[in-house]
Amino acid sequence: MAAKQAKIVLDRAYRIAEVDDRIYGSFIEHLGRAVYDGIYCPGHKNADRDGFRKDVADLIRELKVPIIRYPGGNFVSGFHWEDSVGPKEKRPRRTDLAWKSIETNEVGLDEFVPWAEKLGSETMMAVNLGTEGISEACHILEYCNLDSGTEYSNMRIRNGRKNPYHIKTWCLGNEMDGPWQIGRKTMDEYGRIAEETAKAMKLTDPSIELVSCGSSGGTMPTFPDWEAVTLEHDYDYVDYVSLHSYFALENGDSGDFLACSDDMDRFIRSVISTCDYVKAKKRGRKNINLSFDEWNVWYHSRKQDADIMEKHPWQVAPPLLEDIYTFEDALVCGLLMITLLKHCDRVKMACLAQLVNVIAPIMTEQNGGAVWKQTIFYPFLYSSVYGRGTALLPVVTSPAVPTSGHGEITAVEAVAVMNEREKELNVFAVNRSINDDITLTVDLRDFEGYALLEHVVLENDDLKAVNGPDQERVVPKKRKEKAESDHGQFRVKLRRASWNMLRFRLPDAR
Q: How far apart are CA 138 and CA 443, in angstroms?
A: 53
Hey, where are the domains in the chain?
4-12+390-505, 20-386
Q: Residue 510's pLDDT is what?
A: 59
Per-block average pLDDT, block size 10, for the chain (510 residues)? 87 96 98 97 95 98 98 96 96 97 98 98 98 97 97 98 98 97 97 98 98 97 98 98 96 95 98 98 97 97 94 96 98 98 98 97 93 98 98 95 96 97 96 96 92 96 96 93 79 96 85
Give the residue among 63, 6, 8, 1 at the shortest CA–CA distance from 337.
63
Instruction: State the pLDDT at residue 435.
Output: 94
Tell me the sheet residues that pair with 249.
none
**Residue 141: predicted pLDDT:** 98
> Could you say which DSSP state residue 155 is in?
H
**Cα separation of 508 and 63, whole Å?**
28
Say which residues have a Cβ less than 8 Å from residue 153's Cβ, sequence separation at least 6.
Answer: 142, 143, 146, 147, 164
Residue 464, number of CB atoms within 10 A of its CB: 11
Catalytic residue among 82, 111, 142, 175: 175
Of 505, 395, 391, nearest to 448 by C-alpha is 505
The CA distance from 462 to 454, in Å, is: 24
Closest of 341, 351, 344 to residue 124, by C-alpha = 351
- Length of the chain counted residue by residue: 510
Separation of alpha carbons 386 and 297, rounded Å: 22
Q: What pLDDT is recorded for position 482?
A: 75
Q: How many CA atoms lie within 13 A of 307 on its CB side?
A: 5
Q: pTM of the full predicted structure?
A: 0.96
Q: How far is CA 455 from the centre of its chain?
A: 25
Q: Which of 463, 474, 467 has its CA nearest to residue 324? A: 467
Instruction: Report domain 20-386's class.
Output: alpha beta
4-9 and 438-443 strand pairing: parallel
For the question of residue 117 being annotated catalytic, the response is no
Q: Which of 111, 142, 227, 294 is catalytic?
A: 294
User: What value, to the nearest 5°, has the Cα angle with vertex 288 and ends 80 and 136?
Assistant: 15
Task: Select from 2.60.40.1180, 3.40.50.300, 3.30.420.40, 3.40.190.10 the CATH code of 4-12+390-505.
Answer: 2.60.40.1180
Active site residue 122: no
Q: In this predicted structure, what is the pLDDT of residue 1? A: 55
pLDDT value at residue 170: 98
